[in-house]
Structure 1
Amino acid sequence: MLIKKKKPIFDQYILKNNNIIKEIIKLVNISFNDNILEIGPGTGSLTNEILKYNNKISIVEIDKNILPITFFNNKNINLFIENAIYFNISKIYNIKKKKVRIIGNLPYKVSIPIIINLIKYRFYIEDINIMIQQELSDKLLLLKNKYCRISFLLSLFFNIKLLIKNINPNNFYPIPKVKSSFINIKPYFNSINNNIDINKIKNISIILFNNKRKKIKNSLKKYIFLEKLDKKILNNRLEKLSLYEIYNLSNYIKL
């Protein structure tokens, strides 16, 4: 009898290549004492591999119908049937004592809001290791002075490193139309990003990057007092500014 595979219903692509799963575990270097949160476990192939190295894991999955039935009464799995876009990481087991290591194969259409949600929980996070579509990873890894909105936001709070690139669509079910990448995102802390109002900077980043190729004096004249800014900045374009020049510019914007 042919058993039909469970198909994800929330635009998630399940990694089915065991060799890549094992490579991910090796690169992430999971240890027995790690506090692990997996986002989007799907059919559980990565979850089961993680449990070979760590006997306790928290998982957040919106589609309860795709999860293996054994996950629901497993004492080693702390299960949250929730939307990862809004998930509150502070609910994770032992989070006050041990920072969480996040791993997951993110649904590609909502990768950005899931990642942005994690910014406000960065003080709880040791690192984030995620599979995303390659087009997004290329944006996140843009070089200095070539920021887009999402790379600007994340660079204020995280260091980002590419671990695996050019992962073929045939390694997933269902088969996506794009290649994938696996990246590591690690929080860093300084006197600037410790005090950033995250909601404000998210809204300001929309204004900043809507017209990033125009001169600052033209693109932002509705939102700032131009006389307060250095003329060198005013006559420049956003795409020519460094990360902290952009952030300093945001301090002059009134919403």
Structure 2
Amino acid sequence: MNFKHKKKFGQNFLTNQDEVLNKIIEVSSVNANDSILEIGPGEGALTGYLLDIVNDVICVEIDKELEKILLKKYNTRKNFKLIMQDILKVDFDKEISKKVKVVANIPYYITSPIINKLIENRKYVEEIYIMVQKEVAERICSKKGKNRSILTLSVEYFGEAEYLFTIPKEYFTPVPKVDSAFMSIKLYKDNRYLDRVDEKTFFRFVKAAFSNKRKNIVNNLKTLGYSREIIEKNLEKLYLSNNLRAENLSIDNFIDLIILFKNGDVNV
């Protein structure tokens, strides 16, 4: 079947398949007992590899034209399930309802919403292995420096991200403008940060800290109503410089700092 790629769904399919797909299977530690959730299977290149190994594969695809292709290839496979929906609208309680490992080449234009959706459904999603734009993977996985952002902290609050390998843009059709990367997010089985600082407070604080990337942490946190004196005192307690920018703080720095404010006179 002659399939025409659609820009509106961010479709760029792998052409140099064997090399990349074998590496994806390897770094994702896919095994027979896994239940895999694949988002945006496309024409089913990765799907075939997964079906040969794992217990079951749940594919979520939005493009109706791809439904015929996928069913023709895999409908006779007992470990194959196809959900024709927008992943952002999938009800995990109804459609998934089991522990899954995500292994996917996701649509790049909705990378952040997809990651957020998976994190929200972490009672089902245990590990995430996804292909994204290289610069996005670098930002999410950054441990220090200018690449760190609200997105970095949003992931770190719930799990540990790792940059696994790079895929050159020439490996895709149509050839995109940027290189890609394969990365992982292993969601915490405990609530190591959630139990210390609630989600609403954490993100209110982080958003303020990154509100102006040119300003240091003191000036940005003043937008929450704290005085310079209180902010500087709390930073000093953690042996952190007043001149640091938000990008230079680890998630543990943020958690410890928020707790100091919560325990102080000013209400977070």
Q: Same fold (TM over 0.5)?
A: yes
Instruction: Name the CA distance, whole Å, in 1 between partners of 2:214 and 2:152.
Output: 16
Indicate the residue corresponding to 1:6 in structure 2.
Answer: 4
Instruction: Name the CA distance, whole Å, in 2 between partners of 1:240 and 1:106.
Output: 29
Tell me whether 1:87 sits opposite 2:90 in the alignment: yes
Indicate the residue corresponding to 1:117 in structure 2.
Answer: 117
Q: Is the 8 A contact 1:71 1:77 kept in 2?
A: no
Bigger fraction of residues in helix: 2
Summarize the Cα distance change of 1:248–1:212 in structure 2 as closer, same or farther, 3 Å threshold: farther
- Please state how far the C-alpha of 1:198 moved relative to its aligned partner: 4.1
- Please state how far the C-alpha of 1:196 moved relative to its aligned partner: 5.4
Alignment of 1:13-24 (within 5 A): 13-19=12-18, 20-24=20-24
Indicate the residue corresponding to 2:233 in structure 1.
Answer: 231
- Can you list the C-alpha shifts for 1:173-213, whole angstroms capped at 9, x where unaligned? 22111111111210123432356544664455333212144
Indicate the residue corresponding to 1:168 in structure 2.
Answer: 168
Indicate the residue corresponding to 1:158 in structure 2.
Answer: 159
Instruction: Name the CA distance, whole Å, in 1 between partners of 2:170 and 2:56.
Output: 30
Q: Comparing 129-138 with 86-95, which one deviates more in the overlay?
A: 86-95
**Secondary structure in structure 2 of the residue aligned to 1:85:** helix
Alignment of 1:202-241 (within 5 A): 202=203, 204-226=205-227, 228-231=230-233, 233=235, 235-236=242-243, 237-241=245-249
Summarize the Cα distance change of 1:31–1:5 in structure 2 as closer, same or farther, 3 Å threshold: same
Instruction: Name the CA distance, whole Å, in 1 between partners of 2:96 and 2:73.
Output: 17
Summarize the Cα distance change of 1:128–1:200 in structure 2 as closer, same or farther, 3 Å threshold: same
Q: Comparing 187-196 with 102-111, which one deviates more in the overlay?
A: 187-196
Summarize the Cα distance change of 1:219–1:248 in structure 2 as closer, same or farther, 3 Å threshold: same
Indicate the residue corresponding to 1:105 in structure 2.
Answer: 105
Tell me whether 1:36 sits opposite 2:36 in the alignment: yes
**Secondary structure in structure 1 of the residue aligned to 2:113:** helix
The code of the aligned residue for 1:62 comes to I
- Within the candidate set 69, 72, 78, 1:70 is matched to 72
Instruction: Name the CA distance, whole Å, in 1 between partners of 2:217 and 2:96.
Output: 46
- Please state how far the C-alpha of 1:243 moved relative to its aligned partner: 1.4
- Can you list the C-alpha shifts for 1:87-144, whole angstroms capped at 9, x where unaligned? 343335451xxx2110100111111111122222223222111111111111112123
**Secondary structure in structure 2 of the residue aligned to 1:191:** coil
Instruction: Name the CA distance, whole Å, in 1 between partners of 2:34 and 2:169.
Output: 30
Summarize the Cα distance change of 1:219–1:29 in structure 2 as closer, same or farther, 3 Å threshold: closer
Summarize the Cα distance change of 1:94–1:200 in structure 2 as closer, same or farther, 3 Å threshold: same
**Secondary structure in structure 2 of the residue aligned to 1:193:** coil
**Secondary structure in structure 1 of the residue aligned to 2:225:** coil
Q: Is the 8 A contact 1:133 1:180 kept in 2?
A: yes
Alignment RMSD? 2.8
Summarize the Cα distance change of 1:64–1:192 in structure 2 as closer, same or farther, 3 Å threshold: same
**Secondary structure in structure 1 of the residue aligned to 2:38:** strand
Tell me whether 1:244 sits opposite 2:245 in the alignment: no
Q: Is the 8 A contact 2:158 2:193 kept in 1?
A: no
Instruction: Name the CA distance, whole Å, in 1 between partners of 2:63 and 2:200.
Output: 28
Q: Is the 8 A contact 1:211 1:219 kept in 2?
A: yes
The code of the aligned residue for 1:186 comes to K
The code of the aligned residue for 1:6 comes to K
Instruction: Name the CA distance, whole Å, in 2 between partners of 1:27 and 1:201.
Output: 32
Matched positions, count: 249
**Secondary structure in structure 2 of the residue aligned to 1:123:** coil
The code of the aligned residue for 1:5 comes to F
Instruction: Name the CA distance, whole Å, in 2 between partners of 1:122 and 1:221.
Output: 34
- Please state how far the C-alpha of 1:71 moved relative to its aligned partner: 6.4
